[in-house]
Structure 1
């Protein structure tokens, strides 16, 4: 693998591409990309220059790189889910925190546990959980005995995220309609904005009605 290939891998990770998509763009096997990233810091710590230098050093020593087992299917699927969340717009560290909470036995972690498990700074965890709490994906509980916060993801978390998303959409509707009225509802701009607001309002109403109807599936 060339240094240019490794730079393209790093660019793909930064852009939130899946391993499969990076492999497709490089004309490589997905397993090759998975091993390359895993042996050189993982998705959060991959650095193309360091990865290339490590390969050169191994070649000079004449020592083959230690064999790496193929990524187990369940790990590959978990990675694909993580990449899908990133592509959907979730910040990568927030996606990793959300993913780790989803896979925890009781859906609970402290900030210290998250930082240790994900090998990220406490500050990064703080930013990530703030995003997740605001979006409704996670809620915060206080542990009075240990005097620290515990972050929890439960069966109702997805419903709350839909409610919060609807609230944000309705705020967008309100602002858009106000701007439309400023331009004048009979003007081309005002008419366009009014139609946009009406569309978003109806979509948000359908969304919350559907969420209420199927909430029992999360119980």
Structure 2
């Protein structure tokens, strides 16, 4: 998780590492979570891959794989600066809202599967009721998450 010297050179490292651990516990791959949380606390011009590797105490290859993953998920972006030959990376504007709402199709698909499970288990009423309740909750999330993000955007601007 980086040594004491790295932590002294980069404020916020401990909080970023703790946040990354939380994301990893929720299912995000560990290195992309660490890179993403480092970028939350990046300088306004972002970080180069070498700066990320130094901050995190990892190899350039580890950062490269994490960056590719995060770009493919549309959570971070490559920044090109005139006169700077090295690419820099930073969060995509509204990465969090996009990350939250991008799960909506998954919730809807899971709800459909929960209904199928209930349909195939008709002789177990408790299990059927549980599957239907999960399906209803997932449909609720599918509907509400985009609305919540829109409400937040409207109230924060």
Measure the CA separation in 1 of the matches of 2:123 and 2:87.
49
Work out which of the residue numbers 100, 104, 110 in structure 2 matches 1:162. Answer: 100
CA contact (8 A) 1:107 1:154 kept: no
**Residue-by-residue CA offset, 1:91-117 (whole Å, 9 max, x unaligned):** 443332112212223363443442244
Work out which of the residue numbers 134, 139, 152 in structure 1 matches 2:76. Answer: 139
Kindly report which structure 2 residues correspond to 1:18-167, keeping only aligned pairs within 5 A, or say none: 38=4, 75=11, 78-88=13-23, 89=25, 90-106=28-44, 108-133=46-71, 136=74, 138-141=75-78, 151-167=89-105
Task: State TM-score, norm by structure 2.
Answer: 0.67
1:179 aligns with 2:114: no
Structure 1 match to 2:148: 210
More contact order relative to length (CA 8 Å, sep ≥ 6): 2
Measure the CA separation in 1 of the matches of 2:143 and 2:151.
12
Measure the CA separation in 1 of the matches of 2:32 and 2:140.
30
Give the unaligned 5+ runs of structure 2.
Answer: none
Measure the CA separation in 2 of the matches of 1:213 and 1:206.
10
Task: State TM-score, norm by structure 1.
Answer: 0.52
Name the count of aligned residue pairs: 151
Aligned in 2, Cα 1:151/1:179: closer, same or farther, shift over 3 Å?
A: farther
Measure the CA separation in 2 of the matches of 1:112 and 1:85.
19
Farther-moved stretch of structure 1 (121-130 vs 154-163) = 121-130
Aligned in 2, Cα 1:80/1:111: closer, same or farther, shift over 3 Å?
A: closer
Give the unaligned 5+ runs of structure 1.
Answer: 1-12, 14-36, 44-70
**Residue-by-residue CA offset, 1:13-48 (whole Å, 9 max, x unaligned):** 8xxxxxxxxxxxxxxxxxxxxxxx637xx79xxxxx
